[in-house]
Homo-oligomer: A and B are copies of this chain.
Amino acid sequence: MTINYPVGTHHGKTLKNNTLRTGKTTKKVLFGKRGMGLEDEINLANDYYLANRLAVVHKKPTPITIVKVDYPARSAAKITEAYFKQASTTDYNGVYQGKYIDFDAKETKNKTSFPLKNFHEHQISHLASILSQGGIGFVIIKFTSLNENYVYPASELIQQWQHLNGKQSISYQEIVDKSFVVPESLNPSLDYLTAVDKMLEALH
């Protein structure tokens, strides 16, 4: 079976997925890291890791329910009705030194806590499944007002989720205590694997 995905031919006015999701930040003028959303930073880090053969991590495409597709003659198939669908897993996964890694990325303007409403039940249970298979699960949490980034282990998140019944917030201090800080870095600007290394060391 050959599957030919026609490539979108409207690049001039293309609205990329990441523009959709971090629209507010990407409209700003880019100047170094300023104005770059967490997702953009992670994508750049993943590009860097791939090019330097350090890891292969990709963001999954946004899940969509397609309702109507037009097949115009001599043109690419055009989706004319579709809806965003709730993701059943996390946004990122890949392989790092033979190990399976799986994570989501969340940012908050809050300075004192991280609201659990940022997660859905199925993301938590997905991360629990990953851990039970021996995979490495975590969340990259960015406190945008503080410009601090943390790799927060999935095991801690699951514990807090159960403890707080999926509601309320995890305190900033709790996250700082249980996380591995992503150090300041130039290239990539968000070198999250350095923090993952420290997490793996701590697990052994």
A residues in contact (CB < 8 Å) with B:
1-3, 5-10, 13-17, 20-22, 38, 50, 53, 55-56, 58, 60-69, 76-89, 93-100, 102, 106-108, 115, 117-118, 126, 129-130, 132-135
Contacts and interface: CB of A to CB of B under 8 A. Distances in A.
A115 to B, nearest CB: 8
A52 to B, nearest CB: 11
Contacts of A89: 58
Nearest to A77: B84
A106 B1 CA distance: 6
A95 B130 contact: yes
Copies of this chain, complex-wide, total 2
A83 B78 contact: yes
B77 A83 contact: yes
Contact of A56 (B67, B106, B108, B135): B135
A1 B130 contact: no
Contacts of A135: 56, 95, 98
B79 A82 contact: yes
B8 A84 contact: yes
B9 A68 contact: no
A93 to B, nearest CB: 6
Given A83-B77, A85-B7, A85-B8, A133 B65 contact: no
B8 A65 contact: yes
A139 to B, nearest CB: 12
B2 A117 contact: yes
A183 B17 CA distance: 40
A56 B8 contact: no
Given A10-B65, A15-B68, A79-B84, 15 more contacts: A1-B22, A1-B107, A5-B84, A5-B85, A8-B84, A58-B88, A60-B60, A61-B61, A61-B63, A61-B64, A64-B79, A76-B84, A97-B134, A98-B99, A99-B134
